[in-house]
Amino acid sequence: MFTKILIANRGEIACRVIRTARKLGVHTVAVYSDADARSLHAEMADEAVHIGPSPVGESYLRGDRIVAAALGTGAQAIHPGYGFLSENPDFVDQVVAAGLIFIGPSAASIRAMGLKDAAKRLMEKAGVPVVPGYHGEAQEIVLLASKAREIGYPVLIKARAGGGGKGMRHVEHPDDFSEALSSARREAKAAFGDDRVLVEKYVDKPRHIEVQVFGDNFGNAVHLYERDCSAQRRHQKVIEEAPAPGMTPALRKAMTEAAVKAAKAINYSGAGTIEFIVDASQGLKPDRFWFMEMNTRLQVEHPVTEMVTGTDLVEWQLRVASGEKLPKSQSEIALSGHAFEARIYAEDAAKGFLPATGTLHHLKFPGVAPEGAAMRIETGVRAGDAISPYYDPMIAKLVVHAGDRQAALEALRTALAQTEIAGSTVNTAFLATLAADPDFAAGDVDTGLIGRHQEALTAIAPPTGEIISAAVLAASGAGALPWSDDPWSSLAGYAHFQALVRRMRLKFGDEAIQAKVSMRPDGRFQVALDAPYDSINSHDLRAVPRLARWPDHITVFEGAVGYTFTVPDSLARSDDAAAASGSLRAPMPGLVKLVRVAKGDAVIKGQILLILEAMKMEHTIAAPHDGVIAEIAGEGSQVNDGTVLVRFVEEQGASTTATGR
């Protein structure tokens, strides 16, 4: 076993590797960028080395600096985590050339599976079924469009490199093919440095089911059963589970055998995942699944496999890379119970899952697992940490395990309802609503489920009078019971013949709220809300709702929903009158990738104005109304959250925030 390893990653996966290494007595070295100087992973490791500025191209993608850090600290091996350089064969060559060990597959195995088109040709030769489509080298638009017509619409354009839904476009009609191809190529180039694509038949009711495989350097390969990752938005996974609901013995046998066959075809060593697309339109059948791609690394969702098989896949990685054989044979790996993983992101589900930034002023996960279940919280952040625009906005992975799917799903719902995050827009309410969706609960899941139900899944009921009253109470100081030994102090004082009354102002979004708070003789506080609420709520301080107070804000938690109210500074001058009229602002920090219009152009509502690239995903910014362009951001310019992207000649009311399409 190694004595010291370097982890070429950040965030929750770096923390995850550190925990297992510590259990095995292996010392760890973290690397960090400027943005991560005070990060949890850098603090947890035994040593930490600075490798550059915040942008990934100047830090976490600098293989030379990472190798130098490993050599300089005496590390024997490098664990890549996932993302960044984890599937870069050139980096593997760098590591090996430096006399270090790469904790993962060989460069040859990564190259064999790294490009989707070449991988599918290889799988065809190995006898593994592949999705019908064009996987060739030629990339002329005329040829690709012709192949799409031959395959038959709808089709899926996919970047041949990378994953995570980047460079992927679903095309329903031939007229949309050219625009979708251009967009997919731009996104693929930005994310992977390769704009080549393949075109495949779009399966009508696709299930995304993947098989965890593991190989060693002695020719052994096993599977650790399957995971279902069909709950996706924008082709990115949201909730994963193991085993797959509705899985039949015949299909499991066929899929796991195909997965092991694929691993052995490339002499695979280490953790890997064989991803299959399954046509569920006629139920799960052993002749209706096809190889999609192989991820030659540890997957984000690996904890669900660990939960149902009782394994530590990171420990397996370290043991195999250090020269040991697989810890278990196939006959020793058994399934037990059911597990779910929910990915908690800083994102605005109601606005098309736009990534969000912010400071995590309040971060609280369930202290104990729901009754009858086990639970893991995989995170790389703490309260007070910032969600940076430079990296993936994942906050945590909430993982639960129970005896069966129904019990595990109930545990997931309970844990999500007990999670409290304030300071950034997050997706906990969406996850909880998805977990309660009747189709999802029944296991009738496919990759289009979220898209079909998106409006209902992302809708959040407005705050009730009780929730607003709780926020008012907290803003007055009376609701400070969890933080104050003297809840009476803010309203205490002498008032002859009548209760002392305090006038309060709050804002919920753009909506102004006014209320009166008074203290009753029985020790409760009465909150009278002005119109349009016209309600009076009395609150017993022994039953104050869950809430968090942070600079100029109060967040009240109702289940998995966090309602955030702004507490105006009564002494601050309002800048509303000075706000620019008829302007369109950036919804997040990003790069203006492409500008479609110019100053002086007349545009109509819905017309594409520019493409904003944020976190390596493209977001289309469209005109919110008819108008004439007065100013527009320059192509290639870097913008911050709230930066004015477009100004219109004619006033159209208050400034708006751009929305991605």
Q: What is the pLDDT of residues 127-175, one digit of tens each?
A: 899 988 898 889 999 999 999 999 999 999 999 887 777 899 999 999 9
Closest Cα partner for 550 from 358, 340, 281, 270? 358
| pLDDT recorded at residue 523 | 67
Distance CA 661, CA 127 (A): 40
Burial of 596 (0-12, 13-18, 19+ CB in 10 A): middle
* Residue 382: active-site member: no
For 308, list phi and psi in degrees, rounded to 5: -90, -10
Closest Cα partner for 526 from 540, 537, 513? 537
Distance CA 430, CA 350 (A): 9
Peptide bond into 132 cis (omega under 30): no
Using 70 as the pLDDT threshold, list the residues of the chain that sit under it. 478-500, 523, 533-544, 569-581, 615-617, 650-661
What are 397's strand-pairing partners? 343, 378
**Cα atoms in the 13 Å half-sphere on the side-chain side of 647:** 9
Secondary structure in 3-state letters for 394-447: EEEEEEEEECCHHHHHHHHHHHHHCCEEECCCCCHHHHHHHHHCHHHHCCCCCC
| pLDDT recorded at residue 491 | 46
Matching residue, tokens 């510590």: 22
For 437, list phi and psi in degrees, rounded to 5: -60, 135
| pLDDT recorded at residue 616 | 62
Distance CA 388, CA 500 (A): 45
Distance CA 403, CA 413 (A): 16
Cβ-count burial 358-384 (b if 16+ within 10 Å, e if not): bebbbbebbeebbeebebbebbbbeee
| pLDDT recorded at residue 544 | 59
Distance CA 226, CA 220 (A): 19
Distance CA 403, CA 426 (A): 29
| pLDDT recorded at residue 165 | 78
Chain CA centroid to CA 279, Å: 25
Distance CA 542, CA 545 (A): 9
| pLDDT recorded at residue 492 | 44
Catalytic residue among 196, 233, 297, 376: 297
Closest Cα partner for 362 from 157, 229, 546, 535? 546
| pLDDT recorded at residue 571 | 39
| pLDDT recorded at residue 382 | 95
Burial of 115 (0-12, 13-18, 19+ CB in 10 A): buried
| pLDDT recorded at residue 474 | 87
Number of Cβ within a 10 Å radius of residue 193: 12
What are 628's strand-pairing partners? 602
Burial of 220 (0-12, 13-18, 19+ CB in 10 A): middle
